[in-house]
Structure 1
């Protein structure tokens, strides 16, 4: 197992390392161009060299329920293959903790970018056939309204009949809630487990903890992403909480009050 699990509010939270590697050449730019608007003080103690991304999913288990948060980069033919270090190792990570794809009863997709959703489908069929796939209605509408695209054709359509589109906030399992957190994409959502928030791509790099107004080049609505990030971090800090991130080197970060 790649990361140490934690028990939070009665839920076992197990980080799963899908992959580690840099962005592909087509997306690779100086880090201060990908993450812009910060000062030298914001970057103090942080590397400004090439960004090595950790592609991370989370497994949540409580009282016979098995929830997977995000499905990673997928196989060699996935929509993420042009820029991410495919294939992802999610299935092997699940096996290491005694979970098969058929054991997963709920999949939460924080959003429909290729590095978070591609592993939901394998060779054209659902990878987690017994799971309800939770998405925000705004995210589904965005992808369906974007014209022909790889995520629509190769991820969302093969999941027809397995998707539950929610709006705003919803409990998806005992002690596990999803909350709309837009900006990175229109229907981006985070997952709350007691004092823990799994942030998806609301927070992408540790520098955004020092300065939440630092924008990310691939946010669809940078201004809204900043306001969402500021509100989320303010709330977590006010409650002495914890975040679990998708791309930081470490799975969990204590924010405190």
Structure 2
């Protein structure tokens, strides 16, 4: 499904659908096991089969500079192929918007889980050869400290000369910045563009917007993830803004201030 770009403070934000599919067999568990808190009633009306949309975001400013937020699943041999619907269609989808891999100036990896980072490398070489790849240093250290693993060897190593490791907040373009949002992973980050925040896996299911205290089984630090989720969502609501999510069926979710 194609969505029209959203203009935010002079910056064009376009959702790019990389793939759609149910959680793979390796991770398929009842929703009540994957998410904790809120009670059984929270799942009334939800299909037990959780279908994920795997989404990246194309960000372009008035000067033609191109930022890609997350790189998707990657090819058929991706580290995500054991559970996600590989191969992803990111490169083809970008071409449909007039963007070639060499046109991308910056790639932001919200975190280094395989469905967000694997598409940054194709057949052992960087998929976006002219782009700096912005990753929180804490995220890189977390992966490196875990010993040899597919993301370390097949994503970080080929990107070594292109990585821009940041500590905390960083401005990508005027009006576009990354902010640390730890919990899902130690170096998870979000991208703020005016009133829109691109959330990565800060929220992975819509129930977490209604109740940020609901935890996710694949969060590295669930308690920290809850605190971070509350803080970010409260900030978006205060700006009467919206979130752009990676895995919801619709790319943007408008957040109203509950006090209004």
TM-score relative to the length of structure 1? 0.97
The reply to whether residue 171 of structure 1 matches residue 171 of structure 2 is yes
1:38 and 1:247 map into 2 onto residues whose CA distance is: 20
1:4 CA drift (Å): 2.1
Give 3-state SS (helix, strand or coil) of 2:178's partner: strand
Kept in 2: contact 1:58–1:68 (CA 8 A): yes
Residue 46 of structure 2 is matched in structure 1 by 47
Residue 119 of structure 1 is matched in structure 2 by 119
1:49 CA drift (Å): 1.3
1:176 and 1:59 map into 2 onto residues whose CA distance is: 12
Q: How does 1:220-239 map to 2 (within 5 A)?
A: 220-239=220-239
1:106 and 1:235 map into 2 onto residues whose CA distance is: 25
Unaligned runs of 5+ in 2: none
1:35 CA drift (Å): 1.2
Residue 255 of structure 1 is matched in structure 2 by 255
Instruction: Show CA shifts across 1:128-161 (max 9, x none).
Output: 0000000001001111111000000000000011
Kept in 2: contact 1:73–1:86 (CA 8 A): yes
The reply to whether residue 56 of structure 1 matches residue 64 of structure 2 is no
Count of equivalent residues: 256
1:9 and 1:54 map into 2 onto residues whose CA distance is: 26
Residue 95 of structure 2 is matched in structure 1 by 95
Kept in 1: contact 2:105–2:131 (CA 8 A): yes
Instruction: Show CA shifts across 1:87-118 (max 9, x none).
Output: 00000110010000000010000000000000
Kept in 1: contact 2:32–2:40 (CA 8 A): no
Q: How does 1:65-104 map to 2 (within 5 A)?
A: 65-104=65-104
Instruction: Show CA shifts across 1:191-246 (max 9, x none).
Output: 00000000000011000011111111100000000110011111111111110000
Kept in 1: contact 2:205–2:247 (CA 8 A): yes
Residue 154 of structure 1 is matched in structure 2 by 154
2:91 and 2:58 map into 1 onto residues whose CA distance is: 12
Moved over 4 A (4+): none
Give 3-state SS (helix, strand or coil) of 1:158's partner: coil
2:40 and 2:211 map into 1 onto residues whose CA distance is: 11
Residue 18 of structure 1 is matched in structure 2 by 18
Residue 199 of structure 2 is matched in structure 1 by 199
Kept in 2: contact 1:31–1:48 (CA 8 A): no
